[in-house]
Amino acid sequence: MKPIEILTQVLALLAALAAAPLFIGWINQCRAWLQNRSAPSLWLPYRNIRKLFDKDAVIAERASPLFRVAPYIVFGAMAVAAAIIPSMSTRLPFTAAADAIALVGLLATARVFLALAAMDIGTAFGTLGARREMMVGFLAEPALLMVIFVASLISATTALPAITENLATQHLGLYPSLAFTAIAFTMVLLAENARIPIDNPVTHLELTMIHEAMLLEYSARHLALMEWAAALKLFNYACIGFALFLPWGVSAAGDGPGALLASIPLLAAKLAVAGGALALIETVSAKLRVFRAPEFLAIAFLFAVLGLLVHLLLGA
């Protein structure tokens, strides 16, 4: 392993950690602009996290050690996931240890620990949130795996950087199969990250919460870690989307450090556009009833399967 590879690996991780709250801030700004409100500061999520870290933690009387350990595990899983996704460079030596399916497994780990922590307190809200989150999860995971499958079929591998490199070198053209899978991926992104139309990230009504209900009991540094992990999850999903559907500009093996530096503003541009698009989708959609969420995810799965079938038939 060459030093430049270790450097890019660590850089990918640190950049994700640093940029994730900024991405959330940007999405909130776009949403505010679209809704004709004055926007909060771009750096507000950072200040929130800092403020939360500085507080004393209040933990429920019956919380077990699992409750206190879960935020660290969730955060760790998200951070390791960020190290596998080729956001700026495909030279990530750690991906030899974990391919795209292991990435999905990591996201599942985070989800399971979050749900267990929510069940730990034993109130109605936590268990309600856990139940709903697992429901969204078990429907979104096959859809996500199908999306990755289509990409893997086109590139004949399941290692995410190899997929990115393969797709980046494909002839530029219209691929209906990738278009369908892109739509499926966007829907899965909305569902897994608790955005409208599946869940409202700014709601305070407990009976409508999915993700927020699991964080109700957390405070101070634990909540800070959970919020950061949620921001990281959205950032990771966005980067997976770029790696699969907008793979150009990512520095590959054999490029010098100049390519790595050049990929950073390109990534920033992609994130800006993606954030704007996400804010637009959130603004024009209404939140679905909880039991319409399976239909939503079934449609996402259908799009992914259609993409697969169109690829097998048309070769496109």
Of 292-311, binders to another protein (CB under 8 A) are: 294-295, 298-299, 301-302, 305-306, 308-310
Task: Rule CB under 8 A: say whether 72 interacts with another protein.
Answer: yes
Establish whether the linkage from the previous residue to 197 is cis, with ω within 30° of 0. Answer: yes
In angstroms, what is the minimal distance from the CB of 73 to another protein? 6
Among 23, 26, 180, 235, binds another protein (CB under 8 A): 180
Alpha-carbon distances, residue 212 vs 108, 125, 215 (angstroms): 18, 10, 5
| Residue the block writes with tokens 């709250």 | 21
Under the binding rule (CB under 8 A), the answer on residue 92 touching another protein is: no
Three-state SS at 36: coil
Q: How far is the CB of 18 from another protein (least distance, A)?
A: 14
Q: To the nearest whole angstrom, how small is the minimum distance from the Cβ of residue 146 to another protein?
A: 5
Site for another protein in 190-249 (CB under 8 A): 206, 216-217, 220-221, 225
3-state secondary structure of 196: coil
Number of residues that bind another protein (CB under 8 A): 97
Backbone torsions φ then ψ of 89, nearest 5 degrees? -150, 150
The residue range among 58-66, 241-249, 263-271, 275-283 that interacts with another protein, by the rule CB under 8 A, is: 58-66
Around Cβ 127, how many Cβ atoms within 10 Å?
17
Binding residue for another protein (CB under 8 A) from 45, 87, 120, 200? Answer: 120
Among 37, 61, 254, 289, binds another protein (CB under 8 A): 61
Q: CB 195 → another protein: shortest distance, Å?
A: 20
CB-based burial label for 131 (10 Å; 0-12, 13-18, 19+): middle
User: Is 47 a binder of another protein (CB under 8 A)?
Assistant: no
Specify whether the backbone of 249 is left (phi greater than 0), alpha (psi in -120 to 50) or beta. Answer: left
Contact 224, 49 (CB under 8 A): yes
Question: Between residues 206 and 255, which has the closer beta carbon with respect to another protein?
Answer: 206
